[in-house]
Amino acid sequence: MELRFVGNSGLQVSAIGLGTNNFGGRTDEAGSIRVVKAAIEHGITAIDTANVYGGGLSEGIIGKAIKGERHKLVIMTKAGMRYGQGPHEGGASRLHLIQAVETSLKKLGTDYIDLFQIHFPDSLTPIEETLRALDDMVHQGKIRYIGSSNYLGWQSCEAAWTSRSLGLNSFISIQPHYSLYHRVPERELVGFCKAYNVGIIPYYPLAKGLLTGKYRSGEEPAEGTRLHDVRFQGILNDANYEVLGKLEKFAGDRDHTVLELAFAWLLARPQVSTVIAGATKPEQVQANAAAADWRLTQEEVAELDLITERYIADPIE
């Protein structure tokens, strides 16, 4: 498995990471632990979670799964997404972040977090307060590096300049929704990340399942699949299927799957450090990990960019 640096830091992560949003939800504890063990076996070092994943269960499950293996892994977690009605049950205030880090450390069964990320921007808390709180915890040894998630380009730039002006640790990464079907980050975020050497950690790389190869035009999504959920079935329209057909042909002509193509295209994008992919079974982990071996040429990337250009302005959500 290829290792990549995250932004301008010395932190190295596997090109494919493991997403754990389903742990404690769609995947029970025993199944989740099997997935983590499979990830380690296939060279995946980056494990991404959040304090709200799996209704708050994901971090605890990961803590059980990584016993004896912690030294091999880069644990990435997040806080800031609201999980209750109380004034400090979410957001990026000093009070909430200190509480969140302490809770995450206990659940994960570790004394440090490799990459701690702010899950969503908090318009009610000054960015200086957020960054000072994170900087303090870096100096205390509870956090090694800090990152953001779902920040816009201007918010990322504001954070970078605040850190630079005050001499604080700065965000080395950002997690955006990014895939062949959702190229919104290319409007301005990718440009910011290149200019400031911030690592990009895409989530939803498989377009909520559309790029897994499971779905066919005119066929009802299988029960239990993500797109069987009525909330997501708007994705399964003729226009998206037309593009999917082109992508599948592109991959098939090169003896690859469309799933492998989804990862390979992202790994060919500037600034991408690791691609976060969820899994409910060890076999899915193996397939995701194998995708890191495909290296696209510049000409192939340009062809794919043209096929999916419409998803910069009109992404699937």
Closest C-alpha among 187, 179, 180 to residue 156: 187
Active site residues: 53
In angstroms, the CA 158 to CA 192 distance is: 11
Strand, helix or coil at 171? strand
Contact between 316 and 210 (Cβ < 8 Å): yes
Contact between 36 and 47 (Cβ < 8 Å): yes
In whole angstroms, what separates CA 267 from the centre of its chain?
Answer: 13
Contact between 300 and 174 (Cβ < 8 Å): no
In angstroms, the CA 111 to CA 143 distance is: 9
Closest C-alpha among 1, 65, 46, 277 to residue 147: 46
How long a stretch of residues is the chain?
317
In angstroms, the CA 76 to CA 58 distance is: 12
In angstroms, the CA 287 to CA 311 distance is: 25
Contact between 34 and 282 (Cβ < 8 Å): yes
Closest C-alpha among 124, 218, 142 to residue 133: 142
* CA-CA-CA-CA dihedral for 20, 187, 2, 149, to nearest 10: -30
Closest C-alpha among 32, 48, 113 to residue 275: 48
